[in-house]
Amino acid sequence: MPPILSRGFRGRREDAPPGRVPPGQYVTRDFPVLSAGPTPHTPLERWDFTISGEVDEPRRWAWEEFRALPSEEITVDIHCVTKWSKLDTVWLGVRVDTLLEGIETSADYTVAFSDGGYTTNVPLEDLTGGKAWVAFSYDGEPLQPVHGGPARMLVPHLYFWKSAKWVRGLRLTAVDEPGFWETNGYHDYGDPWREQRYWGD
């Protein structure tokens, strides 16, 4: 039975310039908080970011070391698989290219891992070439814990579940290792412009 229409219901959707928003998405001015688990609260003294796996030598940055790396301001649109898109979001972050500088690897894939156990897989080439950051500031403020602070992945060309909150590192892998959601129905790659939300899309 088709759903019954609700007379006059529109929801809280914003208009967007044509072609700006991927198919099936709605624009919001809010920043909805979605989470797979409780908000971690790792003290900065204990925080680190590591790159490990298929590398010649693992790398590790403590918070001060991470913040001393060159960073940049980025303005991007973000697209959540639950259908909301947020335009022109402003972040400060360290390019993943910077973190990978000088690292030798034969790996083609990565797994981003976070406090709380969340993981998500992204091909290495989707994190490089200026396409991804580890972000520590949103909208001019330090990244709040509910939005993934102190630092999260920012991979805006893919659905936002690929931008792991509370990220603690990247593991470089020889084969693709589907993560927390990719093993349970969500698409392995997640391109919003091809509407790759679920398995088989």
Strands (E), 15-123: 26-27, 48-53, 59-62, 72-79, 84-95, 109-114, 119-123
Choose one: 33-41, 69-77, 148-156, 167-175; the region binding another protein (CB under 8 A): 33-41
Distance between CA atoms of residues 64 and 80, nearest Å: 31
Cα Dmax for the chain: 62
Binding mask 55-94 for another protein (x = CB under 8 A): -------------------------xxx------------
Nearer to another protein, 9 or 88 (CB): 9
| Residue 194 engages another protein in binding (rule: CB under 8 A) | no
DSSP state of 3: P
- Tell me: does residue 133 bind another protein (CB under 8 A): no
Q: State in angstroms the smallest separation of the CB of 109 from another protein.
A: 20
Check binding of 10 to another protein (CB under 8 A).
Answer: yes
Tokens of 125: 């080439």
Q: How many CB atoms within 10 Å of residue 50?
A: 15
Interface ranges with another protein (CB under 8 A):
1, 3-13, 26, 30, 33-39, 80-82, 116-117, 146, 159, 161, 180-181, 183-186, 197-199
